[in-house]
Amino acid sequence: MNIVLLGAPGSGKGTQATRISSRYDVKHISTGDIFRENIKNGTPLGVTAKGYIDQGHLCPDELTVAMVKERISRDDCAKGVLFDGFPRTIFQAQELDKFAKIDCVINLNVPSEKLIRRIVGRRSCLACGGTFHTDFIGETKTCPTCGQELYQRKDDNEETVKERIAVYEEQTKPLVNYYEEKGVLVNIDGDNDIEKIFTDIVKGIER
């Protein structure tokens, strides 16, 4: 089974992805995480991606599609993939259709005024991949899950977030219609309790 998680920045894709991938035993592939890993390791891909990500812009389509195509060809994706943050443009969706059959697209809906607050308060853990919010964990710098150090993503500041949301509205939102017309779209109210959202996603997938 291949699933796409669609939603604006901060809509909760990463938060729900860990739950979905473990329930359905599908490999969680986050294009944002792959780019950040490359930036951390200073690879040529990371050097290119950094300029786009720091400004809140999308990385080039061809580069992103080639990266995903290579990643999902590996053995750990054989049982199925949960695409988190991919596709993000109509071009990427059309390319994805050429190499993977998409069974279900989960679209997380959250009012835009709440997205900024969610992202600016997000703290992430490099060691275990967990994401948290200062509303729940306060200003601690220690990961509540694994005890390692928490950090704030460089693109998680108010100015860049506003640009990311504008880019989402213009380039990614058209995918809602694209997948609705294919009959695979499941709309989820993402402005809810995290566990309630997950329950709704499970119902949507199994419907």
What is the binding site for ligand AP5 (CB under 6 A)?
7, 9-15, 30-32, 35, 52-53, 56-59, 64, 85-86, 88, 92, 118-119, 121-122, 131-133, 164, 192, 194, 197
Asked if 203 is an active-site residue, the reply is no
- For tokens 């989960």, name the residue: 106
- Residue number closest to ligand AP5, CB atom: 32
For residues 51 and 147, which CB has a smaller minimum distance to ligand AP5 in the complex? 51
Q: Yes or no: say if 198 and 16 are a contact pair by the CB < 8 Å rule.
A: yes
Least distance (Å) from ligand AP5 to the CB of residue 188? 10
Token pair of 49 as six digits:
């991606």
Query: In degrees rounded to 5, what are phi and psi of residue 104?
Result: -155, 140
Asked if 13 is an active-site residue, the reply is yes
By DSSP bridging, strand 104-109 and strand 81-84 are unpaired
Least distance (Å) from ligand AP5 to the CB of residue 206? 21
Query: In degrees rounded to 5, what are phi and psi of residue 108?
Result: -90, 120
Residues designated catalytic? 13, 88, 122, 153, 164
